[in-house]
Amino acid sequence: MLRWYDQHARTLPWRALKGQQQNPYYVLLSEVMLQQTTVATVKAYFERFVDQWPTLNAMAQASLDEILVAWQGLGYYSRARNLHKALRQLSEQQSFPQAPDDLKKLSGVGDYTANAVAAIAFNQAVVPIDGNVIRVLARVFALTQPLPMLKKTVAEKALLLADSDRPGDFAQSLMDLGSLVCRPQQPRCEICPVVSMCVGYKEGLQQTLPVKAVKLPKPTRYGIAFLNVNEHRQIWLRRRPEKGLLGGMIEVPGTEWTEVPVEPVSGGLQRGVVKHTFTHFHLRLTVYKTNEMPQETEGFWADTNALERYALPTVMKKVLSFLS
| Residues 284/275, Cβ–Cβ less than 8 Å | yes
Residue 169 Cα to chain centre, angstroms: 23
Please report how close the Cβ of residue 34 comes to ligand SF4 at its closest, in angstroms: 21
Site for ligand SF4 in 242-271 (CB under 6 A): none
The residue from 69, 147, 195, 262 that contacts ligand SF4 (CB under 6 A) is 195
CB of 114 or CB of 182, closer to ligand SF4: 182
Please report how close the Cβ of residue 181 comes to ligand SF4 at its closest, in angstroms: 5
**What single letter denotes the amino acid at residue 19?**
G
CB of 62 or CB of 195, closer to ligand SF4: 195
The residue from 32, 34, 80, 140 that contacts ligand SF4 (CB under 6 A) is 140
| Residues 268/288, Cβ–Cβ less than 8 Å | yes
Q: How many CB atoms lie within 10 A of CB 288?
A: 19
Q: Give yes or no for residue 147 binding ligand SF4 (CB under 6 A).
A: no
Number of residues that bind ligand SF4 (CB under 6 A): 15
Please report how close the Cβ of residue 209 comes to ligand SF4 at its closest, in angstroms: 8
Q: Give yes or no for residue 181 binding ligand SF4 (CB under 6 A).
A: yes
The residue from 1, 129, 134, 192 that contacts ligand SF4 (CB under 6 A) is 192
Q: Which stretch binds ligand SF4 (CB under 6 A): 35-43, 185-193, 229-237, 282-290?
A: 185-193
Q: Give yes or no for residue 139 binding ligand SF4 (CB under 6 A).
A: yes
The residue from 136, 171, 174, 225 that contacts ligand SF4 (CB under 6 A) is 136
Question: Can 292 be counted among the known catalytic residues?
Answer: no
Please report how close the Cβ of residue 138 comes to ligand SF4 at its closest, in angstroms: 9
Q: Which stretch binds ligand SF4 (CB under 6 A): 119-127, 184-192, 235-243, 291-299?
A: 184-192
CB of 29 or CB of 175, closer to ligand SF4: 175
Site for ligand SF4 in 196-215 (CB under 6 A): 198, 200-201, 206
* Contact residues for ligand SF4, defined by CB under 6 A: 136, 139-140, 181-182, 187-189, 192, 194-195, 198, 200-201, 206
Could you list the active site residues? 31
